[in-house]
Amino acid sequence: MSATETLTVETGIDTLDALEAEAIHIIREVVAEFERPVLLFSGGKDSVLVLHLATKAFWPGRVPFPVLHVDTGHNFPEVIEFRDRTVERLGLRLEVASVQDYLDDGRLQERADGTRNPLQTQPLLDAITAGRHDAVFGGARRDEDKARAKERILSLRDEFGQWDPRNQRPELWDLYNGRHTVGQHVRAFPISNWTELDVWSYIEREGIELPPLYYAHEREVYRRDGMWRAISDVSPAKPGEAIEVRTVRYRTVGDMSCTGAVESDAASVADVVREVATSTLTERGATRADDRISEAAMEDRKKDGYF
Amino acid sequence: MGALLRFATAGSVDDGKSTLVGRLLHDSKAILADQLEAVTRTSAERGFGGEPGAIDFALLTDGLRAEREQGITIDVAYRYFSTGRRSFILADCPGHVQYTRNMVTGATTADAVVVLVDARNGVLEQTRRHLAVVALLRVPHVIIAVNKIDLLGYSQQAYDTVAADVAALARELGLADTHVIPVSALAGDNIVDRSANTPWYDGPSLLELLETLPSLDELESELEALRFPVQLVIRPQGALAHDVDDAESFRDYRAFAGRISSGTVRVGDRVQVFPGGATTTVTGIDAGSDSVDEASAPRSVSLRLADQLDAARGAVIVAEGALPEPRRELDAAVFWLGAQPLRPGARVLVKSGTSTVQALVSDIVGRRDLDTLALEPAAALEVNDIGQVRVRLATELPIEEYATHRRAGAFLVIDPQSGYTLAAGIVTAPVEASAEERAATAAAAGWVSV
C-alpha cells in the first residue's frame, strides 16, 4: 500500500464532532446514574466548555445540576462577574466553597508563599459532603499534565477525596462504571480527551463567551519566575520587581496569586486558535507557578483530593 | 482534516515502546519546549545515553512518581497529537505489569494497535498474546513495528522473517488488516519519514500509515442498521433552557437522549423500540438547539417520536425490522481483571449499553491458551486469564454478538459489593467444550467424574 492512497471514508464527522459526541454521552451517563451531580465551575474556559456541552446535552431542558465554585478569595474580578452572569443567564444554582471563610475562622492557615490553590481541597471536600454530591464534573484534560494523562474519565474518590492511581478501575469501551459506596464519590471528566487547541477550536466554532482576560489586553504586570504576574492586592510586586504595562492574555484562569499571563496580541478567538496552534509551551508550564514546584506537583495534589 | 484516530501501543519489556511513543510525539512536534527542556534536564541528571543532549523519551510518558522512580510504566497513559492531516489519541499500554488488563483497556477503544517487536528477537510469546487480545477484541487495524532494525544493519532478511511469522499468526488468529513496518525508534527510521536506510521496504512510514487508516466509526458508519440506546428521557416541562423563546410549543416536549451506536437515523424513519417492539416514526432529531434531518454514529442526539411510548433508560431504538432478540442466556468471552478468581456460580452485575442487570456466571466453559487460542479446561479464571463462560441474566437484554456489532456485544462484569470492574466481556457464538475437556474440567474442580 502506498501512503498517498487515501483510505479515509467521508462521514462528515471531524475531530470536534467526535469529541463533542463523547463528552455529551459522558455527561448524560452521569446524570442518569447518579443522584446529585454538581459541576466545578470557576469561570475558566474548560469549565465553561463543560457547561456549554451540558446545555446541549439537555436542551430544551435546563441543565439539571448546580455548579460549585471553590473560591480562593484571590479572584480576577472580571471572572467573578462572568461567573455570576452565566449562572443567572442559564438559571442555575451556584454553590460557593469559600477558602476565605476557612482562613477567617482558623480552619485553614495562609501558606508562607501566599498561594491559595493547595488550600482549596478541604473547602471542596466539605462542599461535596454538605451538598451530598455523588458525582462531581470537572473540566480537567489529560493533555494538561502527565499525572492527568493516566486518570480515568470516571475517577473514583474515597471519603477523603483521594485518587489512588495504582488502583484505578479499567475503563472499557464507552461503558462507564459509576458504582460507588457510601462516602465515596466520582469525579467525572467529560473533556478528558480534548487538547487545548481542540477547546479553542470548539469555542470558536460554537461562539462560546469567555471572560475577557483570555484575550489580549493591557495590564500592569511584573516579571516573576519567568511569568508575567498581574498587579493586585493579593499579588503585589516585591521590591526590585519592575512594574510595567504590557499587552497580555491568560491561557489559564486560576487563583490570581499564582496564575501568570503571557504576552500576546491575540485579541479574538481566531487569533487565539492561531496562537495556540503554534505555541511552543504547554499552558500549565507557561502560566502556573503551582505546577512548577516539582515534577509530581499535580499527582501529589490529586492524591490529596484536589481536582 | 480526517476523522480522529484512536490507537494503542503495546510491546514487551525493552522493545523500545516508550522510545517509539516519545519519537512519534517529538517528531510530529507534539512535545513543547518546556516539556522537552524538563526531560532533557532529567535525562542528563540520570546520565542517560552517551551523547550530550540525548533524551530518554520514556520520561515523557511515565506520568506517576512511582513509574519514574522505578523506571517502569504502571498504567495506560493517553497522549494527544495531530498532524496536518489528522488528530490522534494514543493509549500507551505498558507491556509487563498486568499486560492483559492494560491491553484490554487500550484496545477496547482503539481503531488500531501498534505492537512492537524487537527485530533481534522476532515474534515472542508476549507478541502472540498481545495479538490474541487484539484479535479477540476485533481491533480493525494491526501494525507490527519491527524495532531496532538499525542494530541488525537494516537487514531485510530480519524484517522478512518477522513479516512471515506475523502473516502466519494473522491467519491463525483471524486478524483482518495487518501491516509490518521496519523501524528504529531511537534513530527515527520510518517513524515519520520513510528511511533511506531501508531501500528494500516500499511501504509507508508509521505516521503515514496512521494518517490514512479508516477509523472504526468510518468503517461501520454505512454498514449497520440504526441502533440507539436510550440514556435518559428529556421532558423539561416547566424547566426550559434560557434560549427557548417559544415556551408554549415546548410544553409537551419529550425526547429520547442517547448516542447513536450504529447506523444513521433520518426524520421520517420507521423505528422499533426494545423492549416490546412497538413501531413508530421519528418526527425530529435534536442536536442541542439545532434540529437536524439526519444523524449518524457516533453522534449524541435526542430523538422525538410520533407515538407516546413507555420507554426509559435501557430501551433501545432500532431501525424497523432490526429488533434484537431478547436474551437471558449469554455465551461470552471474558477478560478477567479482578484480583479474586472467577468461579462458576458467581453473582455479578452485567452492564451492557445503558442497562445494568444482575447476572449469574453459570458455567466456565474453559480458559484460552494464549499461545494457541485453544480452549482448555479450567475450574476458575485467574486475573489476566481470557475465558469462555455462560452467563444467565436476571432481565432480558437486547445484546448481540460482538462479532456482528461491537457496541451491542460488549459488556462489563461488575462486583456488586465493591463496585470494581471485574471483566471485559464480549458475547460470542455458543462454544461447546469437548467431552474430554468437560471431564478434565470436572476433575480439575475436584468433582467426581462419571
A186 plus A216 within the same structural domain: no
- Whole-Å CA distances, B437 to A193, B193, B441: 45, 51, 6
B212 plus B268 within the same structural domain: no
Q: Cβ contacts (< 8 Å) between B87 and chain A: which residues?
A: 15, 195, 198
* B410/A173 touch (CB, cutoff 8 Å), yes or no: yes
B89 part of a folded domain = yes
Give the list of residues 6+ apart from residue A227 with CB closer than 8 angstroms, or none. Answer: A260, A261, A262, A286, A287, A289
C-alpha cell at B290: 439545532
**Nearest CA distance, A107 vs chain B (angstrom):** 30
Q: What ipTM describes this predicted complex? A: 0.91
Alpha carbon distance A96, B10 (integer Å): 45
With CA atoms as reference, the chain A residue closest to B3 would be A14
* B211/A192 touch (CB, cutoff 8 Å), yes or no: no
Domain that holds residue A265: 210-292
CATH number (domain holding residue A47): 3.40.50.620
A5 part of a folded domain = no
B343 part of a folded domain = yes
The shortest CB-CB distance from A296 to any of B65, B242, B288 is to B65
Alpha carbon distance B306, B294 (integer Å): 16
Identity of residue A306: Y
**Nearest CA distance, B371 vs chain A (angstrom):** 24
- Put simply, whether B122 touches A (Cβ < 8 Å) is no
Residue with cell 475437556: B437
pLDDT reading at A70 higher than 70: yes
Pair B9, B92: CB distance under 8 Å: yes
- Which has more pLDDT, A252 or A280? A252
* A168/B3 touch (CB, cutoff 8 Å), yes or no: no
**Nearest CA distance, B28 vs chain A (angstrom):** 13
Pair B349, B394: CB distance under 8 Å: no
Banded pLDDT at A3 (limits 50, 70, 90): very low
B168 plus B269 within the same structural domain: no
The shortest CB-CB distance from A60 to any of B218, B236, B352 is to B236
B220, B254, B271 - which closes a domain: B220
B80 plus B164 within the same structural domain: yes
The predicted-structure confidence for B174-227, as pLDDT tens digits, reads as follows 898 999 999 999 889 999 999 999 999 999 999 999 999 998 887 776 667 899
- Prediction pTM value: 0.91
B184 plus B273 within the same structural domain: no
The predicted-structure confidence for B345-358, as pLDDT tens digits, reads as follows 999 999 999 999 99
C-alpha cell at B333: 468471552
C-alpha cell at B124: 515472542
C-alpha cell at B419: 463496585
Backbone angles phi, psi at B258, to 5 degrees: -175, 180
- Put simply, whether A295 touches B (Cβ < 8 Å) is yes
* A170/B222 touch (CB, cutoff 8 Å), yes or no: no
Q: Which residues 212-251 of chain A have a CB within 8 Å of chain B?
A: none
A110 plus A175 within the same structural domain: yes
- Put simply, whether A143 touches B (Cβ < 8 Å) is yes
Please tell me whether residue A226 adopts helix, strand or coil conformation.
coil
A286 part of a folded domain = yes
Q: Which residues 29-88 of chain B have a CB within 8 Å of chain A?
A: 32-35, 38, 42, 60-66, 68, 74-80, 82, 87
A153 plus A30 within the same structural domain: yes
Q: Cβ contacts (< 8 Å) between A295 and chain B: which residues?
A: 38, 42, 65, 68
A33 part of a folded domain = yes
* B3/A18 touch (CB, cutoff 8 Å), yes or no: yes
B185 plus B287 within the same structural domain: no
B122 plus B102 within the same structural domain: yes
The shortest CB-CB distance from B203 to any of A1, A14, A282 is to A1
Domain that holds residue B184: 5-220
**Nearest CA distance, B429 vs chain A (angstrom):** 20
A174 plus A29 within the same structural domain: yes
**Nearest CA distance, B41 vs chain A (angstrom):** 12
A102 plus A168 within the same structural domain: yes
Percent of chain A past pLDDT 90, that is, above it, reads 58
pLDDT at B85: 87
A2 part of a folded domain = no
Alpha carbon distance A194, A140 (integer Å): 9
pLDDT at A289: 55
B111 plus B61 within the same structural domain: yes
The predicted-structure confidence for B34-46, as pLDDT tens digits, reads as follows 666 777 777 676 6
B314 plus B338 within the same structural domain: no
A120 part of a folded domain = yes
Taking CB atoms and an 8 Å cut-off, how many pairs form between chains A and B?
A: 236
B345 part of a folded domain = yes
* Strand B347-352 relative to strand B278-287, pairing: unpaired
B209 plus B356 within the same structural domain: no
B450 part of a folded domain = no
The predicted-structure confidence for A34-48, as pLDDT tens digits, reads as follows 999 999 999 999 999
B449 part of a folded domain = no
Identity of residue B159: Y
- Put simply, whether B208 touches A (Cβ < 8 Å) is yes
* A181/B239 touch (CB, cutoff 8 Å), yes or no: no
A105 plus A231 within the same structural domain: no
B181 plus B78 within the same structural domain: yes
A277 plus A176 within the same structural domain: no
A35 plus A107 within the same structural domain: yes
B298 plus B366 within the same structural domain: no
* B234/A58 touch (CB, cutoff 8 Å), yes or no: yes
B419 part of a folded domain = yes
Q: Which residues 330-359 of chain B have a CB within 8 Å of chain A?
A: 337, 349, 351-354
A130 plus A265 within the same structural domain: no
Please tell me whether residue A35 adopts helix, strand or coil conformation.
coil
The predicted-structure confidence for A267-303, as pLDDT tens digits, reads as follows 999 999 998 888 766 676 666 555 544 455 566 656 6
Pair B371, B128: CB distance under 8 Å: yes
Q: Into how many domains does chain B fold?
A: 3
Q: Cβ contacts (< 8 Å) between B217 and chain A: which residues?
A: 11, 13, 18
The predicted-structure confidence for A192-227, as pLDDT tens digits, reads as follows 999 999 999 999 999 999 999 999 999 999 988 778
A233 plus A148 within the same structural domain: no
A192 plus A226 within the same structural domain: no
Among B64, B104, B246, B420, most A C-beta atoms within 10 A, so best to mutate, is: B64
A273 plus A156 within the same structural domain: no
* DSSP category for residue A149: G
CATH number (domain holding residue B367): 2.40.30.10
Q: Into how many domains does chain A fold?
A: 2
B169 plus B298 within the same structural domain: no
**Nearest CA distance, B372 vs chain A (angstrom):** 25
